[in-house]
Amino acid sequence: LWALDAYNAGWQALQSNNLPLAEKKLNVAYAYAPENAEVNFALGNLRLTQGNSPAAESYYLATLRLDSNHEGAYNNLGILALEEKRWSRAANFFARAVQQDPRDAKTYYLIAQAQFNAHDFQNASVAIARAIKLNPAEPQFHVLSKEIRRAQTTESP
């Protein structure tokens, strides 16, 4: 119960961008429940917000060791990999995330973005088509789709 109260207070502080309070409360929650996936995930988000990507990655990986189906951890690790221009790694993390929620159009978009940057235009085209099918009203999906088609036509003989 102590861990839950501290976690809830820390999560709320993080959501309201009160980072010092989030740090304090989430550290208390971690002291009580270091093996809790959600506490590790929240600490990863805190570190990410603080600009400490290596620590965020460590907490997200710990989250996955505790809950191998944690969609948020896969998504955030994918975002970190995109920022590091590690396209294949990003696509793999996003693919794991989309296994948890196959109706998440944005994750398909992120897969397509990673594959596009890796010059895997065929798979990028499949992923962006799925994103558009799930959410046809999203303009950025159509922009990426056009970029992929343009890259495919300039690459083919």
Mapped onto helix, strand or coil, the DSSP state of residue 105 is helix
Distance CA 71, CA 120 (A): 24
pLDDT tens-digit readout, 51-62: 999 999 999 999
pLDDT tens-digit readout, 100-115: 999 999 999 999 999 9
User: Is CATH 1.10.10.10 correct for 1-68?
Assistant: no
- pTM of model > 0.75: yes
Q: What does the domain layout of the chain look like in residue ranges?
A: 1-68, 87-157
- Which pLDDT score, from 0 to 100, does residue 125 have? 98
Contacts of 101 (CB under 8 A, 6+ apart): 71, 107
Kindly list the averaged pLDDT for each block of 10 residues, start to end, along the chain of length 157: 86 96 96 96 98 98 98 98 98 98 98 98 98 98 98 81
* Residue pair 25/13 in contact by the 8 Å Cβ criterion: yes
Q: Which residue's entry shows tokens 């978009």?
A: 109
Do 87-157 and 1-68 fall under one CATH topology? yes
CATH class of 87-157: mainly alpha
Sign of torsion over alpha carbons 57, 58, 61, 63: negative
- Which pLDDT score, from 0 to 100, does residue 155 have? 75
